[in-house]
């Protein structure tokens, strides 16, 4: 049988009373040597426990910072590599531009040796036909150009204008298989005709007597015959003289003095007279 009246539990009141007593005792004996030693021991114990508890968190923080630093370093290395590639590309372009300026300066210096009025033109395209050696220039009849006018580089004769539009023109090179021009040996004055072979680095002279005085290393210049090319422009240098036993004629091979496959600018010689010239082949 349950009691009608429940007995009250005085644990809460006892706890409050005990806490007040402990507080009073701590306040009264706060400077007692035994209590001070206990306080120090308690502080050391709490500090050691806190250190042990915080150690994993500190270690994790260090690992996180190390990973972040590594990632930042990798990003920085990648950025530096990209910047290095950009700078190398700019350096290559600068080197190319400096070389182009040097070639253009050489070309302009060669103007002093040209008696006629020269026009500086830029090569804008090459012939799509590998069998034809020709280039497209950015100057035309509005700049005073006419068909047949000689085209020069800083090293010598390159060719002549094949056709001329109002703002552009096409020039056939001296190595084209359909081109030929009168030349003479600068050393001896011997006259001949240098023909294109279709090889950008070679001209050929045929129908020369096997006893002709021509040697490897001789400079061939334009002879001026025919009135197409002015006299004295460097054309090619003899590289080989072949005389077959019993043959009546020698075959002479020569390399153009102009680097026909290099450079972007040329000189077009504009005669003082305004007469039109037909292209010579």
Q: Which residue in the block uniquely carries the two structure tokens 């009250």?
A: 8
Q: Using an 8 Å Cβ cutoff, are 257 and 232 in contact?
A: no
Q: Using an 8 Å Cβ cutoff, are 87 and 240 in contact?
A: no
248: which residues sit within 8 A by CB, 6+ positions away?
A: 209, 210
pLDDT at residue 209 tops 90: no
Q: What is the pLDDT of residues 107-155, one digit of tens each?
A: 556 555 555 677 888 899 988 777 789 999 999 999 889 999 999 888 8
Helix ranges (DSSP H) in the chain: 11-28, 33-109
Q: What is the pLDDT of residues 231-265, one digit of tens each?
A: 888 899 999 999 888 788 889 999 999 888 887 88
Helix (H) or strand (E) holding 133: none
Q: What is the pLDDT of residue 16?
A: 73
Q: What is the pLDDT of residue 262?
A: 82
Q: What is the pLDDT of residues 177-198, one digit of tens each?
A: 999 999 999 888 899 999 999 9
pTM, entire model? 0.59
* HEC string for 210-257: CCCCCCCCCEEEECCCCCCCCCCCEEEEEEEEECCCCCCEEEEEEEEC
More confident: 200 or 5? 200
More confident: 198 or 66? 198
Over the chain, what is the mean pLDDT?
79
């Amino acid at each position: 049988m349950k009691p009608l009246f429940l007995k009250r539990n005085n644990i809460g009141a006892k706890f409050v009373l005990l806490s007040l007593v402990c507080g009073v005792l701590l306040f009264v004996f706060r400077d007692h040597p035994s209590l001070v030693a206990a306080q120090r021991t308690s502080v050391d114990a709490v500090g050691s426990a806190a250190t042990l508890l915080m150690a994993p968190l500190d270690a994790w923080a260090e690992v996180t910072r190390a990973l972040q630093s590594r990632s930042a370093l990798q990003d920085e290395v990648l950025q530096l590599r990209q910047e290095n590639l950009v700078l190398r590309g700019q350096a290559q372009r600068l080197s190319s531009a400096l070389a182009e300026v040097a070639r253009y300066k050489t070309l302009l210096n060669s103007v002093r040796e040209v008696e006629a009025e020269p026009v500086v033109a830029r090569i804008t395209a090459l012939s799509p036909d590998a069998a034809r050696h020709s280039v497209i220039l950015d100057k035309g009849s509005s700049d005073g150009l006419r068909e047949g006018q000689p085209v020069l580089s800083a090293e010598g004769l390159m060719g002549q204008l094949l056709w001329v539009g109002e703002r552009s023109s096409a020039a056939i090179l001296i190595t084209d298989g359909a081109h030929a021009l009168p030349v003479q040996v600068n050393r001896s004055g011997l006259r001949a005709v240098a023909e294109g072979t279709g090889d950008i680095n070679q001209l050929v002279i045929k129908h020369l007597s096997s006893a002709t005085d021509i040697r490897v290393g001789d400079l061939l210049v334009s002879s001026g015959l025919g009135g197409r090319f002015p006299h004295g422009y460097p054309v090619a240098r003899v590289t080989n003289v072949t005389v077959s036993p019993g043959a009546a004629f020698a075959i002479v091979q020569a390399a153009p003095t102009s680097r026909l496959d290099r450079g972007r600018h040329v000189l077009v010689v504009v005669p003082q007279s305004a007469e039109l010239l037909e292209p010579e082949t």
